[in-house]
């Protein structure tokens, strides 16, 4: 008979989570934000080849680099992971 820990882990395997990929940040003023419209450009604090961060909720769980997805012909994006943290504690 499986123990309760492995049973809980088995139950969680199919649960989906929302993953957020952070490519950079900006600190515009309220005035700048109010002036944004279609075709506006908002500069970020990163370069195109800088690492990105992956978050589940507020927890940093991994870092990596953006690349075009090898599995699609439509130029979709993927993240190639370079560091992965412990699921319980995240990436330090």
- Going through the chain in order, the beta strands assigned E by DSSP cover 19-22, 52-56, 59-68, 77-84
Q: What's the rounded Cα separation, in Å, for the pair 12 and 1?
A: 18
pLDDT mean for each 10 residues of the chain (92 residues): 70 86 95 96 94 93 90 82 85 73
Q: How far apart are CA 11 and CA 57, in angstroms?
A: 20
Residue 25 CA to residue 46 CA, distance in Å, equals: 8
pLDDT on residue 80: 94
The CA-based dihedral angle spanning residues 36, 60, 63, 10, taken in that order and rounded to the nearest 10 degrees: -120
**CA 46/CA 67 separation, integer angstroms:** 16
Q: What pLDDT, on a 0 to 100 scale, did the predictor assign at position 63?
A: 96
The single-letter DSSP state of residue 7 is H
pLDDT at 1: 56
Q: What is the pTM of this model?
A: 0.74
Q: Which of the following CATH numbers is that of domain 16-84: 2.102.10.10, 2.30.330.10, 3.40.50.11540, 3.30.160.60?
A: 2.30.330.10
- Domain residue spans of the chain: 16-84
């Amino acid at each position: 008979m499986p123990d309760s820990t492995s049973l809980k882990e088995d139950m969680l395997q199919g649960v989906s989570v929302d993953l957020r990929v952070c490519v950079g940040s900006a600190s515009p003023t309220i005035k700048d934000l109010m002036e944004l419209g279609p075709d506006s450009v908002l500069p970020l604090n990163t370069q195109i080849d800088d690492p990105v961060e992956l978050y589940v909720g507020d927890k940093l769980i991994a870092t990596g680099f953006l690349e075009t997805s090898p599995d699609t012909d439509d130029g979709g994006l993927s993240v190639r992971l370079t560091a992965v943290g412990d699921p319980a504690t995240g990436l330090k």
